[in-house]
Amino acid sequence: KAGVTQTPRYLIKTRGQQVTLSCSPISGHRSVSWYQQTPGQGLQFLFEYFSETQRNKGNFPGRFSGRQFSNSRSEMNVSTLELGDSALYLCASSLGSGGIDTQYFGPGTRLTVL
């Protein structure tokens, strides 16, 4: 079974731009979660989608949004980029939406905001 894939792997943007990241979960997994990883804040939960519905959301501004398609693929969008948005964005998929479900992580998208 193919693992979680994320595209692109690297992105460079400038302040004020917007960006869209993509995540394809493991086949059969209906839950996709997104995380931001920075040296200062560590790993922080952004949001989770399950069957095309946002199930929960972390403490991030509204500039961060996402969606999930009927094939469970997910995208996250960040509008009006700020320097502090530079981070590794990780996507994880799981069968269910509970916090106890094993999550399988993709390799991440490294976003640099200049």
Q: Beta-carbon neighbour count of residue 32 at 10 Å?
A: 31
Tokens of 83: 């320097």
**Binder of another protein out of 27, 53, 56, 80 (CB under 8 A):** 56
Residue 44 tokens, joined: 């922080």
Nearer CB in complex with another protein: 75/101:
101
- Nearest to 89, CA basis, from 31, 19, 15, 1: 19
Contact residue for another protein among 2, 59, 62, 70 (CB under 8 A): 59
17 binds another protein (CB under 8 A): no
Q: Using CB under 8 A, which of 43, 53, 82, 114 touches another protein?
A: 43
Query: What are the φ/ψ torsions at residue 95 (nearest 5 degrees)?
Result: -65, -50
Chain center to CA of 21? 7
For position 107 contacting another protein by CB under 8 A, the verdict is yes
List contacts with another protein (CB under 8 A). Answer: 4, 33, 42-43, 45, 48, 56-59, 90, 92, 98-100, 102-108
